[in-house]
């Protein structure tokens, strides 16, 4: 009997979940700004804000990347405003038919960086459907900045990226090789 209990305890200990590895950057949106559609055109610039790579542009304005989304992907960035006017930052996904808003934050002058995060997992991976195949699509990731109260502002997106786990990074690399996006 004590041997059976010892075996059960050892098996239970072996079945524990291991601590999850930190997410890794799969898509660097700062590095792909030249591939993005900018509205207004040419109004966005790259900069370094105290060691944080950033994209600055007008509010109202938007940046749109067309790309496949990695499995279990999460969009992460920091938002801040330059100047005296507040701005609202929004993240959404579109497939040219519909737009789905996923996250939004408001930033005020002098408040520093505010984190913004959006789960993109619905736009990749296998789904129980004959018609919905999200991995076969290049999605439009839309970062929008809105002027709050009608006063134009300068919106700053700090280190925008899509992260996931190592297995998703390997699968994404295999899937997008040779596929323009």
Please list, in sequence order, all residues whose beta carbon lies within 8 angstroms of the beta carbon of residue 39, skipping any fewer than 6 positions away. 61, 62, 63, 64
Q: What's the confidence (pLDDT) of residue 12?
A: 46
Residue 155 near residue 61 (C-beta atoms within 8 A): yes
Q: What is the pLDDT of residues 45-90, one digit of tens each?
A: 999 988 999 999 999 999 999 999 999 999 999 999 998 999 999 9
pLDDT beyond 50 at 10: no
Residue 174's SS3 state is helix
Q: Please compute Rg for the chain using Cα positions.
A: 20
**79/72 Cα distance (integer angstroms):** 23
Residue 46's nearest CA partner among 162, 163, 161, 159 is: 159
| Strand residues in 41-136 grouped as ranges (E) | 45-49, 52-59, 61-67, 74-82, 87-94, 99-107, 114-119
Class (C level, CATH) for 22-176: mainly beta
Of residues 175 and 73, more confidently modeled: 73
pLDDT class of 98 with cuts at 50, 70, 90: confident
Residue 40 near residue 58 (C-beta atoms within 8 A): yes
**40/42 Cα distance (integer angstroms):** 6
pTM attached to this predicted model? 0.83
Residue 93 near residue 74 (C-beta atoms within 8 A): no
Residue 21's nearest CA partner among 77, 70, 72, 79 is: 72
Number of helices (H) and strands (E), helices first, in the chain?
Answer: 2, 11
Residue 108 near residue 156 (C-beta atoms within 8 A): no
Q: How many CA atoms lie within 13 A of 121 on its CB side?
A: 6
């Amino acid at each position: 009997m004590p041997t059976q209990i010892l075996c059960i305890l050892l098996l239970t200990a072996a079945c524990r979940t291991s601590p999850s590895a930190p997410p890794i950057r799969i898509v660097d949106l700062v590095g792909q700004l030249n591939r993005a559609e900018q509205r207004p055109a040419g109004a966005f610039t790259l900069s370094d804000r105290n060691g944080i790579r950033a994209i600055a542009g007008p509010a109202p304005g938007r940046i749109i990347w067309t790309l496949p989304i990695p499995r279990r992907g999460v969009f992460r960035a920091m938002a801040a405003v330059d100047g005296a006017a507040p701005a609202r930052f929004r993240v959404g996904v579109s497939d040219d038919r519909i737009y789905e808003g996923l996250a939004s934050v408001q930033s005020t002058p002098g408040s520093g960086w505010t984190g913004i995060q959006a789960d993109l997992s619905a736009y990749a991976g296998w789904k129980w459907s004959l018609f919905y195949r999200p991995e076969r699509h290049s999605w439009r990731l839309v970062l929008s900045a809105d002027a709050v109260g009608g006063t134009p502002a300068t919106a700053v997106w700090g280190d925008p990226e899509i992260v996931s786990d190592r297995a998703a990074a390997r699968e994404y690399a295999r899937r997008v090789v040779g596929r323009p996006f």
